[in-house]
Amino acid sequence: MTTGLTYSVALDGVNGRVVTIEADISDGVPGWSLSGLPDTCVTEARDRCRAAMINSEHAWPDRRVTVAMYPADVRKVGSHYDLAMALALLMAKQAVPDDALRATAVFGELALDGRLRGVPGVLPAALAAAGAGLTRVIVPEVNVVEAQLVPGLDVVGVRSLRECLALLTGEEYVDDESPMPLHVFGDGWHPTRRLGWDEADLADVRGQAQARRSVEVAAAGGHHLFLQGPPGAGKTMLAERFPRLLPDLDLPAAIEVSKIHSLAGLLSREDPLIIRPPFLAPNHTDTVPSVVGGGARVIRPGAISLAHLGVLFLDEAPEFKPTVHDALRQPLESGEISIRRAEGAAKFPARFQLILAANPCPCGGGSGKSHCRCGTVVTHRYQQRVSGPVRDRIDIVHSVLPVSRSEMRQSVPAEGTTAAVAARVRRARERQRERYRDTPWVTNAEVPGYEFRRFCPLDREAMELIEDAVADGRLTQRGADRVARMAWSVTDLSFDERPSRDHVREALFLRSDGALGESFPGRWVA
């Protein structure tokens, strides 16, 4: 027999499709033929496989070599096919038993000396292999812990092609291989680690009782938040303390988030499962692909997708490019983002909580202030950089004003600390989880409108306040829907049975920064 067959996985965003790799060695003029829509990286695998096989004491076939990858109409991208292609060739040479790789998916990039480099995307690839009925995966040693997150899958980690061959043939192997240097991949960096504010407490923010209440309601119901005000008022401090208010991710959600970070090569070798909601804070000078996602050859997730089931914080929001703001519209509604390029397309999950922070004007003073150097026209133009459609998708808007001298002297009581607020948020989330049990939704903010009205109707007295705001043109229909959701989030925090008029009044206040009627008297953490 002069043919060999192995399996790998082609990734399309976070989804994978099993790829069959066949190798044939036949008589004729020595040469190499590769088919199946390979990209440049896959085409170059021939040179890596040849050098790795020779340095692993296996001669390269001096005959006609044909390698085909199926399905033939699915584009193959990446270097993780190297090991599977080399093993298919060795099987065709009868150096590997025909049944040694039955129901086995293979991933790994070969170095020229035969050692294996870690590759990104092993977690979604292993999930796809298990979903297709394969029972075993062979991965580089550095990817073992990541692949072991998939239940019911036999994971085999190897350091080199030589070790892999010994394993498949049952030969004795002396482990003298050193792992490949990790370089960029697998350095353990993650957006929720190594942050200076990891241990920062909400009690560090003096004063700003209403702003802290806005943050609490946003965390409880999964609502988007817009903080605006002059520099130094505390907008960034509030946003940086927001992630610690959120509860841990459950196992399905943790795996879903870890899949995305696996594609970006950001998972830790030792602890790849992400159990905390990610917090992404891109800079306004970052490129559009780094925020939105993309790439010339391989489409990678951007900050929008890396913040899935977590928080995306855009500080100095008006300074971001208009294309970034426009890209937010689709994921804010659908919870996913589609990226299309000439050579392919990918779809990534992107259901995040958006926090925007902005100064009132370019100089930071705000129109009408004695120290502001901007006129009304300049201020209005600056504020309009955050487009109307994006603003309409923001649930809570709050102006963070400078604290007074008396507020600076007051300490925050115990009920205003991160631990106390996080406990209230956790209880509110538990109520929502119970309310939406047996559904794919977890928080008030993510339930579709028609389903939300079925699960969470408002009584007539409470609904009249919202209807009046819509009739007067102060609220859009989308805004009315979001006010109803926030009213339920406020109700969940207070542990009341159903929203009352006071709950709706507070929701209206939060939605409009107090502009939709009388000021809300209180229930703020002082």
Domain ranges of the chain: 3-169, 202-403
Indicate whether this model's pTM tops 0.85: yes
Q: Which CATH superfamily is domain 202-403 in?
A: P-loop containing nucleotide triphosphate hydrolases (3.40.50.300)
Task: Read off the pLDDT of residues 18-35 as tens digits, 9 standing for 90 and up.
Answer: 999 999 999 888 899 999
The chain-wide mean pLDDT, for the chain, equals 87
Whether the CB-CB separation of 239 and 313 falls below 8 Å is answered with yes
The per-residue pLDDT for 366 is 55
C-alpha triplet 243, 246, 249: angle, nearest 5°: 110
Task: Read off the pLDDT of residues 146-186 as tens digits, 9 standing for 90 and up.
Answer: 999 999 999 999 999 999 999 998 887 766 666 665 443 44
- Burial class (CB within 10 angstroms; exposed 0-12, middle 13-18, buried 19+) of 289: middle
3-class SS of residue 474: coil
Cα–Cα distance for residue pair 526/208, rounded to 1 Å: 8
Tokens of 445: 């903010």
The per-residue pLDDT for 1 is 53
207: nearest Cα among 242, 239, 238: 238
One-letter amino acid of 462: A
502: nearest Cα among 131, 493, 314, 84: 493
The per-residue pLDDT for 105 is 97
Q: Read off φ and ψ for residue 5, nearest 5 degrees.
A: -140, 130
3-class SS of residue 471: helix
In the sheet that 104-106 helps form, which strands lie side by side, from edge to edge? 31-35, 64-70, 15-26, 3-12, 104-106, 136-140, 154-158
Cα dihedral across residues 505, 493, 390, 484: positive or negative: negative
Q: Going by DSSP bridges, is the β-strand pair 116-117/396-399 parallel, antiparallel, or unpaired?
A: unpaired
3-class SS of residue 336: strand
The per-residue pLDDT for 370 is 52
Question: If you compute the radius of gyration of the chain from its CA atoms, what whole number of angstroms results?
Answer: 28
Task: Read off the pLDDT of residues 364-377 as tens digits, 9 standing for 90 and up.
Answer: 765 444 567 787 88
481: nearest Cα among 458, 514, 509: 458
Residues of the chain with pLDDT under 50: 182-197, 367-369, 516-526
The per-residue pLDDT for 514 is 60
The per-residue pLDDT for 362 is 84
Report cis status (omega within 30 of 0) of the bond before 71. Answer: yes
**From its phi and psi, is residue 409 left (phi > 0), alpha (psi between -120 and 50) or beta?**
alpha
Cα–Cα distance for residue pair 57/492, rounded to 1 Å: 67
Whether the CB-CB separation of 140 and 123 falls below 8 Å is answered with no
Which letter, b or e, does each residue of 33-66 get, where b requires 16 or more Cβ atoms within 10 Å of its Cβ?
Answer: ebebbbeebbeebbebbbbbbebbebebbebbbb
Whether the CB-CB separation of 35 and 67 falls below 8 Å is answered with yes
Give the relative orientation of helices 418-435 and 209-221 as an angle to the nearest 10 degrees: 30
Q: Please state, as a whole number, how many other Cβ atoms lie within 10 Å of the Cβ of residue 231.
A: 13
The highest-level CATH class for domain 3-169 is: alpha beta
The per-residue pLDDT for 265 is 87
CA 437 to chain centre: 24
The per-residue pLDDT for 457 is 86
The per-residue pLDDT for 383 is 85
- DSSP one-letter string for 289-312: HHHHEE-SSS-EE-HHHHTTTSEE
The per-residue pLDDT for 308 is 95
26: nearest Cα among 68, 67, 65: 65
